[in-house]
Chain A
Amino acid sequence: MIELRQIHKAFNAGRENEFRALNGIDLQLPAQRVTAFRGPSGSGKTTLLSIIGCLARPTSGRVRLHGRDISGLPERFLTDIRRRTFGFVFQQFNLISGLSATENVMLPAYPLGGERRALQARAEDLLAGLRLAHRRTTQVELLSGGEQQRVAIARALINEPPVIIADEPTANLDTALAMEFMAIIEQLADARRTVLLSSHDPLLVDSSLVDRVIDMRDGRIVAAAAAAGAGG
């Protein structure tokens, strides 16, 4: 369970060009559900996901994870929480070019120092599960957009985090690849993982796999409702 209380986020705070990205967000996100944040560009979806995923700190407000306030934790502890709790799929995939698909997938596990053979086997299993076994040694910049996204998903899963955060995951994909991505999300939901998505793609947000849709505008939540197709 993730709980947000009065979250504010301002960029360039106190300066002439101050921009308030989030204005007092109160929200509870239950575990093992697929939640989608919907809204136009600049509505604050990405910033909110960054704060939930400990990639950024709120200017003010509290973030609780399983009842524990994590807003004021030192960077080192926050990194540990981020590594163990969240897996990220970024809009631009953010893979490290020059490295192979397998190496990219293994990267989040490097700081844990696990046994290499086991780690490599797990990375290759994940790639195989996402139908990328034949591309595991290919450098990521040579992969198609859909393939790169699947590598990013495998990377998000390598440390087996309970929460997957995907920012505009279908923005760079055509319809067929978007459908493929949704199938993967469905598998994750079936595996009882918490999935948080930001998107304004109706194909994704209005789909049956989304349990809850939260509408955002100008850094505020304007509506939060169970999705049409939500079973529970």
Chain B
Amino acid sequence: MNVWIEKQKYLIDFTLASLARRKAKNLGLLLVYALIVFLLASVMLFTHALRQAANELLAGAPEVVLQRMVAGRHDLIPPGYLERIGRLRGVQEKQGRLWGYYYDPVVKANYTFMVADDRALAPGTLVVGAGLARTRGVAPGNLISFRAYSGKLFTFSIADILPAKSELVSADLVLLSEADFRAFFDIPPGHFTDITLRVANPLEVRNVAGKLAQQFPDSRPILREEILRTYDSIFSWREGVVLALATLALLAFAILAWEKASGLSADERREIGILKAIGWETGDVLRMKFWEGALLSLSAFLLGYLAAYVHVFHFAASLLAPVLKGWAVLYPRFELSPVIDGLQVTTLFFFTVFPYAAATLVPIWRVAITDPDAVMRG
């Protein structure tokens, strides 16, 4: 065992010396390699953290949302539905919601107007999302005007700005009183945009949804888990697109590494020939090259991953956010909680380190199994 350890130490020593001898080339390779790991890791860390943030924010959302459909389109819920839903077994709490979209031609952005169900707002006042406040340049106490679809101009006073922590889902949000909402969108009393339900027993959620679908055939129940799944799919889709591009970069790098290794320089081939001639076995040469590849790829992996971590969690993924967040005009600014997933790290490690090792070791093996005399002669 001691002999084996001592031998590995000699091989690592030689490897370090070998890396130092070709400093410029290895440093260049390290940087390109680290850049690719950085790109892949940034995408993975960012989308994973986004999913986590969405999960946390939606954890307090109602279990079921009921929407009414007319001619395949979302329509207002007429009076009477809310009372009938209240009589269903398993429904713990029900509430009619009022919300709608508004296009603001000043900044060419869409806002979500909503009646706040957890805070009482005085008529004529608004609470707005941080993204909107930033884009329109407003602060609490300022006035803001919107022209309703009827053509009438409404002026509101900003009462508060929503906290940045929830910006992922509240960047474009405008909270207002029920009276203002109905007046702005011209919605008669007793009508709602949709209805939210709380179900006491989580195992009963699907049963309640089934009963709703049966009793209200013109409506569709949307489960919280479906919303979460939709978020997940959106982020997965965006992640997939970027990862596909990054994988192409990785492939190009693997080809480069293969080219570099298969076209070993005359010096490198000669060196392998000398080592074989003075008594190194093919296995020793491969082990030495393995250590060389391992040191290079591990350093690149750590460097790239660390840079990606800092990029995502300290600089809010500023290089990738526009692609991955997907907001058209109001990009939400929010701080993601650092999340590292073991499986994700392992996957990334496997897909970055393994191709490099394979791409470099195979051509070296081909040189190493050739007679030393033939290798040294070139």
Contacts and interface: CB of A to CB of B under 8 A. Distances in A.
A and B: interacting chains: yes
Interface in B294-336: none
Contacts of A110: 7, 10-11, 14, 280, 284
Given A57-B371, A82-B277, A90-B376, 5 more contacts: A55-B371, A55-B376, A79-B281, A82-B279, A159-B279
Interface in A63-96: 75-76, 79-80, 82-83, 88, 90, 94, 96
Contacts, number: 80
Interface of B: 2-7, 9-11, 14, 17-18, 20-21, 270-271, 274-284, 369, 371-374, 376
Given A56-B373, A94-B376, A97-B21, A107 B6 contact: no
Q: Which of A79, A90, A114, A116 gathers most chain B CB within 10 Å?
A: A79
B153 to A, nearest CB: 79
B7 A96 contact: no
B277 A111 contact: no
B373 to A, nearest CB: 4
Nearest to A110: B10
Contacts of B17: 98-99, 103
Interface residues on A, range: 20 to 34
A113 interface: yes
A79 B18 CA distance: 22
A115 interface: yes
A97 B274 CA distance: 12
B21 A98 contact: yes
B279 A79 contact: yes
A78 B76 CA distance: 87
Contacts of B18: 98
A50 interface: yes
A118 B281 CA distance: 22
Contact of A111 (B2, B21, B284): B284
B137 to A, nearest CB: 62
Contact of A113 (B6, B270, B271): B6
Contacts of B21: 97-98
